[in-house]
Amino acid sequence: MAATVNSSTLLSHPTLNPSTFVNGEASASSFTTTTLFSGGVCAYRTSEASHTASLKRGNVSARLTVPDHIRKPHYIYSTLLPEISSEYQIHNAEGIDNMRAACKLAARVLDYAGTLVRQSVTTNEIDEAVHQMIIEAAAYPSPLGYGQFPKSVCTSVNECMYHGIPDSRKLQDGDIINIDVAVYLNGYHGDTSKTFLCGNVDDATKKLVKVTEECLQLGISVCKDGAPFQNIGDRICELAAKFGYGVDRFVGHGVGTVLHSQPLIFHDCSNKPGTMVEGQTFTLEPILTMGSTEFKTWEDNWTILTADGSPSAQFEHTILITSTGAEILTQS
């Protein structure tokens, strides 16, 4: 679940001025600041020309229900987007055990979701399967009801950078899809995502996906107690630049008893102040693009697309800072 930087201001879910829409879309310059989340409308490719056609929305089905006995996060009782918490997520031994459990479930659900990626499957079918698996584990799907987000998982196809709402459109041969899973278990959130290949993906796009995953691992490799946060973006940018990829401005975040908190984790080169602390949990979730990092959004105020229609890829882990490095809590 990602955020972006607009000048000195941090944002993720954009609020748009209706006067800035052109043909139902808005440019990056039309964004104003609110808070953080991942959601939106699922997208699909409309022609056989790889990564050149615009994405179109499908039909979004009704919100799924969660049994009464399952513990739910506080934000589902409000229609407002929660503010990013200023409280860093630093845990004692019990909290770490709870984080491990939530993240282990999220990783297991994500792996299962990946097995469903194939031609003619709809992202709505993936959502339904993810939802069922999460509630059967007595957990709550964290995206559902966050600022009125209507689904239990985020699915972002091809040039959809993030915030994809599962819908009725079928995956096509050659698509890539990021599936972003977050679960709320025993009062703690676990958050993770991967980009999966659907069928015969072209070599250039497969390379983008591979390097994006390598960027995530490289960013994690510099994390440990006392390490500067800016090291993460420096290492990711260095690798991405070797292949000519853009690093998007959206950021990772603290995660624990709240879904989104400080610190915000910059994946591009920045002078982000501060250092990591043992016992702290946060996400790294770089988004790389084959073309421009400029973005646009649909009227739903969730779906974020590359402005030039080029493909993007993303990978995400929740990590725990230790004295000697980082434990990847969402490693499957």
Beta-strand ranges (E) seen in the chain are 4-6, 9-11, 15-16, 25-27, 31-32, 140-141, 154-157, 160-162, 176-185, 188-197, 246-247, 252-254, 261-265, 281-284, 287-289, 295-298, 304-306, 312-314, 317-321, 326-328
- The tens digit of pLDDT for each residue in 179-193 reads 999 999 999 999 999
H/E/C letters for each residue in 98-113? HHHHHHHHHHHHHHHH
| Euclidean distance between CA atoms 53 and 196, whole angstroms | 20
Backbone angles phi, psi at 145, to 5 degrees: 85, 5
Whether 332 has a pLDDT exceeding 70, the answer reads yes
Q: Give the Cα separation of 197 and 173 in Å (integer).
A: 9
Of 155, 322, 146, 290, residue with least CA distance to 226 = 322
Rounded percentage of the chain residues whose pLDDT exceeds 90: 74
Range 308-329 average pLDDT: 97
User: Averaged over 295-316, what is the pLDDT?
Assistant: 90
Q: What is the pTM of this model?
A: 0.86
Residue 140 has pLDDT above 80, yes or no: yes
Report d(CA 163, CA 248) in Å as an integer: 14
Spatial separation of the C-alpha atoms in residues 280 and 252, rounded to whole Å: 14
pLDDT by residue (tens digit) across 237-290? 999 999 999 998 889 999 999 999 999 999 998 888 899 999 999 999 999 999
For range 180-208, the mean pLDDT: 98
What average pLDDT does this structure show over 284-301? Answer: 90
44-58, 129-143, 265-279 — most confident range: 129-143
